[in-house]
Amino acid sequence: MKKVERINIIMRYINNRSHFTISEIMQEFNISRSTAIRDIREIEAMGMPLVAEVGRDGGYFVMNNSVLPTVRFTDNEVKALFIAFMATRNQQLPYLKSRQSLAEKLLGLISENQQDDLVLLNQILFFEGTNPNNPDLLELSDLPHPMLEKLIQLLLLDRHLLITIEEEKMIKSFPIYLLNLYNQKSLWLIDGLDIKEEKREIYQVDHLINVEPFPMKKRLNKKKILEKLSSQEGEINLVLELGPKAISQFRKYHPLNVSISYTNPYQTTAILKTFINVNISEELTEMTNWLSFLGGDIKVREVPKEVLEVLQERLFLYCP
C-alpha cells in the first residue's frame, strides 16, 4: 500500500472512532511504531484536530469526531462492492433483506454509465452457487435459517447463551459459551463450550429451536473457560509439509481448527500441525477424507498410525 493511500485510510479509520492508540494503528495497518507516529504527525499537520491523552492507557481522539467530508465511492470501489454482493449469493448469509436495500441504494448513488457497467458485470461474471437461469443481483432468495440473525444479535451482547436444539427427535436445552460461529459446507455451525459437561462441541444452527441469554449468576468467568479449553487440547500428532498444490486445496477448504504456517515469502510451501482425536470415529473419518482431498503434494513428518492405516486401506482399494 502506498503511503498516500495508507494515510487516507488511516484518516478514515481514526475519524470513525471515539478513541484510538498507536498500537491499534500498528496492528490494523501492519506498520512499525515509528511509521505509525510519523503518519499521525502528518495527519495532524494536515489539519485534523487530534487530542493526545496522557497515561498508561492513553491514546488519541478527534476533537470533533467527524471532520472529513461525506464519503464518495470511486469507480473501482463501486465495482468492488457490487462484485462482493455477487460473490456471496446463494450462501445463506444473515441480513439478506438489508442487502437488497443496500444494493438499491448503491445503484442510486452512481451514474448511468456506472450502472451500465454493473449490469454488464452481472451478465458475464458467475460465481460458485450462481443459478445461470436467474443471476439477477436483487433476486435474493437464499435466506438463512431464521434463528441465525437472532443468534447474531444476542452474540453482540454476550457469548453466554442458553440454547435449545432438536436432534434425532430429541429436544434438550443447555448453557454454552460460544467460541466461534462459522459457515462450512453451506452449513452454519456453532463452536462452543458446553458449560455443564465442560466439553467443547459443534452444533448446527439448523438444529436450533431457541436461543436466549444465560443467567448471569451461573456463568463461568473467561479465565476458567480458557483453562477448561486448554486442558482439552491434545498434543500435536499430525505434522505435514505442504507444497503449492496442497496449499491451493487447503485454501479451498479446511477444518476450522486447522491452520498452516508459510515457510517462504511466496506462500508456496507451508507446515501444518494439528491434533486428531483418533478415538472419535467421526473425527477420524473426516480428517482422513480431508487429507485425501489435499492430494499428493504433501510430505508426512508425523501421523497417527490409525490415520495411516485408513489411508493405506483406501489406497489399496483404489488400486486396480
256 and 199 in one domain? no
Pick the last residue of a domain from 201, 232, 263. Answer: 232
Grid coordinates belonging to 61: 481522539
pLDDT of 267: 92
pLDDT of 16: 78
What is the arithmetic mean of pLDDT over 217-238? Answer: 78
Element housing 167 (H / E): strand 160-167
248 and 223 in one domain? no
117 and 180 in one domain? no
Q: Per mean pLDDT, which of 75-79, 202-206, 234-238 is the most reliable?
A: 202-206
In a domain, 12, yes or no: yes
Euclidean distance between CA atoms 46 and 141, whole angstroms: 47
180 and 110 in one domain? no
194 and 170 in one domain? yes
pLDDT of 242: 95
118 and 85 in one domain? yes
In this predicted structure, the answer to whether residue 301 has a pLDDT above a threshold of 60 is: yes
Pick the last residue of a domain from 90, 109, 143. Answer: 143
228 and 159 in one domain? yes
pLDDT of 86: 79
CATH code of the domain containing 54: 1.10.10.10
214 and 150 in one domain? yes
What is the arithmetic mean of pLDDT over 199-211? Answer: 90
| Count of other CB atoms within 10 angstroms of residue 33 | 11
Of 25-29, 59-63, 256-260, 269-273, the least confident: 59-63
Pick the last residue of a domain from 143, 168, 191. Answer: 143
**130-164 exposure pattern, b = at least 16 Cβ within 10 A, e = fewer:** eeeeebebeebeeebbebbbebeebeeeebbbbbe
CATH code of the domain containing 159: 2.30.30
CATH code of the domain containing 254: 3.30.70
In a domain, 108, yes or no: yes
Of 10-24, 64-78, 263-277, the least confident: 64-78
Euclidean distance between CA atoms 216 and 198, whole angstroms: 18
In a domain, 106, yes or no: yes
Euclidean distance between CA atoms 249 and 247, whole angstroms: 5
160 and 134 in one domain? no
In a domain, 67, yes or no: no
| Count of other CB atoms within 10 angstroms of residue 165 | 19
Q: For residue 128, what are the domain limits?
A: 72-143
In this predicted structure, the answer to whether residue 140 has a pLDDT above a threshold of 60 is: no
Tens-digit pLDDT profile for residues 162-195? 999 998 789 999 999 999 998 887 789 999 989 8
In a domain, 47, yes or no: yes
In a domain, 297, yes or no: yes
In eight-state DSSP terms, residue 39 is H
In a domain, 292, yes or no: yes
In this predicted structure, the answer to whether residue 71 has a pLDDT above a threshold of 80 is: no
What is the arithmetic mean of pLDDT over 237-252? Answer: 93
181 and 168 in one domain? yes
Cα 12 to Cα 18, 63, 65, 66, 313, distances in angstroms: 12, 14, 11, 10, 57
Grid coordinates belonging to 86: 455477487
87 and 30 in one domain? no
pLDDT of 175: 92
**Domain count within the chain:** 4
In DSSP notation, 188-257 reads EEEEEEETTTTEEEEEEGGGEEEEEEPPGGGPPPHHHHHHHHHHHPPPP-EEEEE-HHHHHHHHH---TT
In eight-state DSSP terms, residue 192 is E
223 and 151 in one domain? yes
In this predicted structure, the answer to whether residue 138 has a pLDDT above a threshold of 60 is: no
